Structure 1
Amino acid sequence: MHERLRRSIVAGRFKSGERINERQVAEMLGVSTTPVKDAIRMLESEGLVRTEARRGVFVEFSGRQAFEMALGRAALESVMAHIAAKRMTPATIAELSALIDAMAEATEHGALEEIVRLNEAYHGAIHRISGCRYLERRLDGQRMYDHAQRLALLGEPGQRDAGFVEHKGIFDALAARDSALAEARMKRHILRSAREHVQLAFGESLEELDYGDR
Structure 2
Amino acid sequence: MQDHVGTRLERLDPKLSLTLRDHVHKALRMAILSGRFAPQAKLNERQLAEELGVSTTPLKEALRQLETEGLISTLPRRGIVVLYSRTWAEEMILARAALESMIAHLAARRIDRPGAVALQATIAAMSEASSAGDAGRLIELNEVFHEQIHVASHCVYLARLIERQRFYDEGTRRIIHSDPDERARALAEHRLIAETIAAGQVDAAERAMRDHVVRSGEHYLRLVFSGQSPAGD
Instruction: Give the TM-score, by structure 1 length.
Output: 0.91
Which one-letter code corresponds to 2:187 in the other structure?
Answer: F
Shift of 1:34: 2.5
Q: Please tell me whether the aligned partners of residues 198 and 204 of structure 1 are also in contact (alpha carbons under 8 angstroms).
A: no
Unmatched 5+ stretches in structure 2? 1-23
- Pairing of 1:1-214 with structure 2 (within 5 A): 1-203=24-226, 208-209=229-230
Q: Contact 2:72/2:84 (CA < 8 Å) preserved in 1?
A: yes
Q: What is the alpha-carbon distance in structure 1 between the residues aligned to residue 107 and residue 59 of structure 2?
A: 42
The amino acid across from 1:144 in the alignment is F
Q: Any gaps of 5 or more consecutive residues in structure 1?
A: none
Distance, in Å, in 2 between the alignment partners of 1:108 and 1:8 is 28
Aligned residues: 208
Q: Tell me, in whole angstroms, the C-alpha distance in 1 between the residues paired with 2:74 and 2:111.
A: 48
What one-letter code is carried by the residue in structure 2 that aligns with 1:79?
M
Give the drift of 1:204.
5.2
Match of 1:57, SS state, is strand
Secondary structure, counterpart of 2:70 in structure 1:
coil
Q: Distance in 1 between matches of 2:146 and 2:52?
A: 33
- Residue 128 of structure 1 deviates from its aligned partner by 1.1
Counterpart AA for 2:109: K
Structure 1 residues 83 and 4: CA distance shift in structure 2, 3 A: same
Normalising by structure 2, report the TM-score.
0.84
TM-fit CA distance, 1:106: 1.1
Q: What is the CA–CA distance in structure 2 between the aligned matches of 1:157 and 1:19, rounded to whole Å? A: 34
